[in-house]
């Protein structure tokens, strides 16, 4: 989504001091995630993309957790601590007091638990506020069941006269379906004076930010509402049921967006895509796929089914099937899976292959190189065009240190090899089946590490007498020579 700019200075206040008791979690409510971001991060991204210059986040409960998360996301956000939660008006007062200089221009107030609120909506709200030359503009919506929400009270001409909280509303006011989202835009100078004069004359004994609307009306200042048709954007999250519900809706929006951008998503209901994922046109996503973190998928690639990728870069026309991967790179025209495990630092070159039941960690597999099946590749460099045989283990750990193995270009290693790192296998070298490679292999050489085979005659009869194996062996030994030869 593009960033929107505004000529006047805009300050955002994000309220995130609530206790979130209904989440029943050791983690702060606003730190619970949907689509790869915590709810507070969704709020901060929305205000930043709407052209806000200064952002203040008000923290209270679980302040250490929340403050650390905000600082990690954006160190420029000003943190204001609300020691006692005495209402939204008090929270805004604390925010204003935290600034070195009073804000000028416009202030937008939003919340840390409304993750679907978009930067586009905030930008439109700011544009509407400025165009109408209002002192206060409230983001509102009409809902089927307004229970629990503050109601927008209008006069006969439709002008906004007040916001009445549900507990303080009479029966007539409670029948109003237009609700206050809690998100509003206010002239900065008016906000400073209005918040300073708030009183606790209400059912909850708190300082309501919404009371500034009544003051503006009483002073004859222009007040209005920006009605939002997309009610989802106003919904807050208070428990895990709501978190899941909002998460599903956000995922629906994300998958819909990418389908309109030319991505084929075979089953959107079983496909989950995080907010920061980037997909090119003609990508195909098969059922049961999760694309997480900052995953990037280039044009023509096919992902899935039953695949989870987190922070993975996928090249053009690559195919990844039934794979779990994180912090890895898959080159163009490469194939991965099924049942592969890409750990951090795994890099597969153009046209390369990581096959069935292969685990790769901190290793670079060059263009055209293949690790087809049943192998562990840890801390290795595999050269262009090399083929690693089935059942190969790169023994990278000596009990103290992790060591690297290097396999050169166009080498051919046989099945059931073990490479005891550190070791180098030269360009064009080969290895025999079952070989344990403990020393460097020169280019073009064949490394064979197996001893000669020795058969111990009669071992089963001696050690396993009477067993099914013993009986089968005796039957075979007693059969005529011609019959044994045929078998």
Residue pLDDT, tens place only, 352-402:
999 999 999 999 999 999 999 999 999 999 999 999 999 999 999 988 999
What's the token pair of residue 225? 């509402």
What is the spatial distance between Cα 165 and Cα 56, in angstroms, rounded to a whole number? Answer: 25
Contacts of 109 (CB under 8 A, 6+ apart): 12, 13, 15, 88, 92, 182, 183, 184, 185, 186, 209
Spatial contact of 267 and 284, defined as CB atoms under 8 Å apart: no
| Positions in the chain whose pLDDT score sits under 50 | 1-6
Residue pLDDT, tens place only, 122-163:
999 999 999 999 999 999 999 999 998 899 999 998 899 988
The residue segments making up the domain with residue 72 are 10-234
Q: Can you give the pLDDT at residue 485?
A: 52
> Do 227 and 367 belong to one domain?
no
CATH number of residue 181's parent domain: 3.90.550.10
> Do 284 and 413 belong to one domain?
yes
Residue 73 appears among annotated catalytic residues: no
CATH number of residue 296's parent domain: 2.160.10.10
> Do 191 and 287 belong to one domain?
no
240 inside domain: no
Q: Can you give the pLDDT at residue 142?
A: 93
Query: What is the pTM assigned to this prediction?
Result: 0.89
Contacts of 209 (CB under 8 A, 6+ apart): 87, 88, 89, 91, 92, 109, 184, 195, 198
17 inside domain: yes
Contacts of 166 (CB under 8 A, 6+ apart): 146, 147, 148, 149, 150, 151, 174
Q: Can you give the pLDDT at residue 483?
A: 52
Q: Can you give the pLDDT at residue 1?
A: 38
Residue pLDDT, tens place only, 60-105:
999 999 999 999 999 999 999 999 889 999 999 999 999 999 999 9
> Could you say which of 324, 373, 410, 430 is catalytic?
373
Final residue belonging to a domain, choices 234, 254, 272: 234
């Amino acid at each position: 989504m593009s960033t929107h700019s505004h000529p006047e200075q805009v300050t955002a206040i994000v309220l995130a001091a609530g206790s979130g008791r209904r989440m029943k979690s050791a983690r702060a409510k606003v730190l619970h995630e949907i689509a790869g971001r915590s709810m507070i991060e969704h709020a901060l991204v929305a205000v930043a993309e709407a052209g806000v210059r200064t952002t203040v986040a008000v923290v209270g409960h679980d302040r250490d957790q929340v403050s650390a998360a905000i600082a990690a996301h954006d160190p420029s956000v000003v943190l204001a601590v609300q020691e006692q939660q005495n209402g939204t008006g008090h929270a805004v007062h604390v925010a204003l007091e935290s600034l070195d200089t009073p804000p000028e221009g416009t202030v937008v107030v939003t919340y840390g638990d409304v993750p679907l609120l978009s930067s586009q909506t905030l930008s439109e709200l700011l544009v509407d506020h400025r165009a109408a030359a209002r002192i206060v503009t409230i983001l509102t919506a009409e809902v089927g069941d307004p229970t629990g929400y503050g109601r927008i009270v209008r006069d006969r001409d439709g002008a906004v006269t007040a916001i009445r909280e549900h507990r303080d509303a009479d029966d007539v006011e409670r029948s109003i379906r237009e609700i206050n989202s809690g998100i509003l835009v206010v002239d900065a100078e008016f906000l400073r004076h209005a918040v300073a004069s708030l009183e606790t004359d209400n059912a909850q004994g708190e300082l309501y930010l919404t009371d500034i609307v009544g003051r503006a009306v009483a002073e004859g200042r222009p007040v209005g509402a920006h009605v939002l048709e997309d009610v989802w954007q106003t919904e807050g999250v208070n428990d895990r049921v709501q978190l899941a519900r909002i998460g599903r809706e956000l995922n629906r929006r994300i998958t819909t967006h990418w389908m309109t951008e030319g991505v084929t998503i075979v089953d959107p209901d079983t496909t989950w895509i995080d907010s920061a994922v980037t997909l090119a046109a003609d990508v195909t996503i098969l059922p049961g796929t999760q694309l997480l973190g900052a995953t990037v998928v280039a044009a023509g690639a096919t992902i899935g089914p039953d695949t989870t990728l987190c922070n993975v870069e996928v090249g053009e026309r690559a195919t990844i099937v039934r794979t779990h991967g994180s912090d890895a790179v898959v080159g163009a025209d490469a194939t991965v899976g099924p049942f592969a495990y890409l750990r951090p630092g795994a890099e597969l070159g153009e046209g390369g292959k990581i096959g069935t039941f292969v685990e790769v960690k901190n290793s670079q597999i060059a263009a055209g190189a293949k690790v087809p099946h049943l192998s562990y590749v840890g801390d290795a460099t595999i050269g262009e065009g090399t083929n690693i045989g089935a059942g190969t283990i790169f023994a990278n750990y000596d009990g103290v240190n992790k060591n690297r193995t290097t396999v050169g270009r166009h080498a051919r290693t046989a099945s059931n090899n073990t490479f005891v790192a550190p070791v180098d296998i030269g360009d064009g070298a080969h290895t025999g089946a079952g070989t344990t490679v403990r020393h460097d292999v020169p280019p073009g050489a064949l490394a064979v590490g197996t001893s000669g085979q020795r058969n111990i005659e009669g071992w089963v009869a001696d050690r396993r007498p009477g067993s099914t194996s013993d009986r089968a062996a005796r039957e075979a030994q007693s059969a005529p020579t011609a019959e044994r030869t045929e078998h």
